[in-house]
A and B are shown apart, each in its own frame.
Chain A
Amino acid sequence: MNSVEALGLTKAYRMGAATVMALDGVTLSIEEGDFVAVVGRSGSGKSTFLHLVGGLDRPSGGEIRVKGEPLSKKSSSGLAAYRRKSVGFIFQSFNLSTTMSAVANVELPLLLDEVGARERRERARAMLASVGLSAREDHRPTQMSGGEQQRVAIARALVNRPSLLLADEPTGNLDSRTEREVLDLLAKMNADMKQTILMVTHDRAMADHYARRVLEFGDGRLVSDQEKPR
């Protein structure tokens, strides 16, 4: 079954008087449980695509279906519920709350989803353990290395058991050794928990190495689509 389907997806931005087409008719589908990398230069539309799939933004035209359900039908709070329950985000700059401990950060999606305090804490701890950060539960992000912070962010993205994990340049702020650690972790999670992973990167070599399928965007269009055999 397809996890994500994009049908003639367009996104136009107004830049002063000019209209820029960030996405210009993208049609593709992604299988459930797949590890897909989206590559392309900056401005190619790859991040815009990720935001549309994640329900952070709405397309100017076309349609996205997630497990067959069109996102355009959802209200603002419907989209929020979709992000809360079905999507996990990982950002280049981690976007952790610096005023909260690691475990509190991981709890956030559960808190937003009105899960009780005790269950929240238990699930967040288990998730931190599975990314190897049990010992750092009560540390604040500012007391952690970049790799550790991104692992906290991954735990946060996965704690709600989403079906879709969206990563926007997840290793952009990391050195090459931690980069490998984080990507190995993503690959392991993909293998263990069977989420569909959609990862935006500008690093083609890394994409080829880790992802099963690599989509290349250029000027808002899908220019190549390569798959490794399963």
Chain B
Amino acid sequence: MRLRDTVRFSLGNLRQRKLRSFLTMVGVAVGTGAIVLMVSFGVGLRNTLVGELESGESLLMIQVMSINIDLFGGGGVKTKEKFRRLTDEDVKEMSAIPGVRAAWPDLQMQVRYEIDKTGGRTTVHPTPVEAATQMMRQALVAGAWWDGKGQDAIVPLDIVRRTKSKQTKLEGPEEEAAPQALTRQDSEALIGKSIVFLFGGKEGGGGTAPKDPPKGIVVEGPDDKGRRRVTFRIAGVYDEEKMGGMAHGVYIPLDPGRGLRVLGPPQWAPREDGEVAPLEEGEYFAIVVKAASIKEMPAVQARLKELKYFTFTVQDMIKFVEKATLALEAGLACLGGIGLLVAFFGIVNTMVMAILERTREIGMLKALGARDRDVGLVFLGEAAAIGFLGALGGLGAGWGGSMLMNVLARSFVLKGDRFDDTRLFQVSPVLAMLAIAFGVVVACAAGLLPAIRASRLDPVTALRHE
């Protein structure tokens, strides 16, 4: 029998038993749809997370840590050493590596701030002026980047928003300002104003008064609430979206940052022997290395590893996210697969019934000269068609379901402009094709044994079958 005729024969048989064929297909559709929906969540989650991480500027950054984190696979160095104290000597060594734009100690800290009568909590990022790339400079919506000599600060739009909405909350958890339209004037109005960072006291965080006053910055206070105040001048305002994935918060020059750290709570880090001890002056928990370009990244990273530093990059994080979401996808696919497993037995049942009903017809076909193979292929074709059409329906349903889930997710969970383009459920063309192929393969597997049974029926017995 020709393939075309076999297919037509199979489809004709399906059409004869429309309801049963349809119901069996629904089984396949439910299974395939569940897989599509679940895997699309895994894919969407991965793409969303990786998309968040994978922005231009952040790809140039290498975090050198005092702890060897091999948890993320490939992030750390494969040595027995687990800890390494990082000092100014190390900063110097890293700065000297070819391809490094800048290396500086990671001094970021959580602080409370005040602008006029408003305030809140933010993260301060002491950064050397060389680290401010073209991209970071272009993210400014008002003012100019500081030259790194004075007590200057670059603040994010979020702070402009909070200031505009007169948010004064100094206590309690950090809250995002209510979304509201900002004009250029709102940002420009802040330029030249003072932003005061508060240390000590009840409201200023756990910091205690330092033994020696910090060098290089002007510290006022303690005030009536026991807080020490350090005043910075707002030099610029930047748009968080345009920072290429760099951390949000207030950017200040590195040297005043060193002073701020003395005011803040003491930092702790493990020593080489694993004992956790407070960091001395000139010791750091982490050092940030920024490569000159993405091309330099592998060489810089390799050199750092040679020098036995424990590095961690966004790429490592992406690798980890990809691994984790792949495992998630596999798990979700298995869950969805349960539906398809049920459908598998549905198809087996349908095919066994069909063969039982058509035993005489099989005998007749064989008497007319059908080969065993022809008979088997007709039934396998029926199973494949059930699988294909069912999977097609399931793909449609899964795709529709994922669209719906995206709408629901955006209206209830991922609120705000930031998530406008976020799709947590993503049906990729590869997923679509795999879903169809999987449906057909499962259906063929289900139809295989019945088809073989049909092909081996003895024609004389089959013709006598009532």
On A, residues with C-beta under 8 Å from B are 51, 54, 56-57, 76-77, 80-85, 87, 89, 91, 95, 97, 99-100, 108-109, 111-114, 156, 160
Which residues in A have their C-beta under 8 angstroms from that of B374?
A: 112
Pairs of residues from A and B, 7 with the lowest C-beta to C-beta distance, nearest first: A84-B369, A83-B369, A95-B364, A80-B371, A89-B367, A77-B371, A56-B459
The docked-state distance in angstroms from the alpha carbon of A163 to that of B463 is 22
User: In chain B, what residue has the closest Cβ to A116?
Assistant: B2
Summarize B's interface: helix, strand, loop or mixed: helix
User: In chain B, what residue has the closest Cβ to A56?
Assistant: B459
| Chain B interfacial residues counted at CB < 8 A | 25
Which residues in B have their C-beta under 8 angstroms from that of A81?
A: 369, 371
Are A95 and B371 closer than 8 Å at their CB atoms?
no
With contacts defined as CB atoms under 8 Å apart, how many contacts are there between chain A and chain B in the complex? Answer: 69
Min CB distance, B21 to chain A, in Å? 13
Mask, B372-405, CB within 8 Å of A = 1, is 1110000000000000000000000000000000
Q: Which of A80, A91, A95 meets B370, CB within 8 Å? A: A80
Min CB distance, B459 to chain A, in Å? 5
Are B371 and A108 closer than 8 Å at their CB atoms?
no
Are A112 and B1 closer than 8 Å at their CB atoms?
yes
The docked-state distance in angstroms from the alpha carbon of A99 to that of B17 is 11
Are A108 and B365 closer than 8 Å at their CB atoms?
yes
Q: Which of A56, A84, A95, A112 meets B460, CB within 8 Å? A: A56
Q: Which of B13, B361, B363, B365 meets A112, CB within 8 Å? A: B365
Most buried by B among A80, A100, A113: A80
The docked-state distance in angstroms from the alpha carbon of A109 to that of B2 is 12
User: In chain A, what residue has the closest Cβ to B455?
Assistant: A76
List CB contacts (< 8 Å) of B12-55 with chain A. 12-13, 16
The docked-state distance in angstroms from the alpha carbon of A99 to that of B13 is 9
Known contacts A80-B370, A99-B16, A113-B369; decide if A51 and B364 are in contact (CB<8 Å).
no
Known contacts A91-B463, A111-B5; decide if A84 and B368 are in contact (CB<8 Å).
yes
Known contacts A112-B1, A114-B1; decide if A95 and B360 are in contact (CB<8 Å).
yes
Which residues in A have their C-beta under 8 angstroms from that of B258?
A: none
Q: Which of B9, B363, B373 meets A77, CB within 8 Å? A: B373
Are A56 and B373 closer than 8 Å at their CB atoms?
no
Judged by a CB distance under 8 angstroms, whether B121 is at the interface is: no
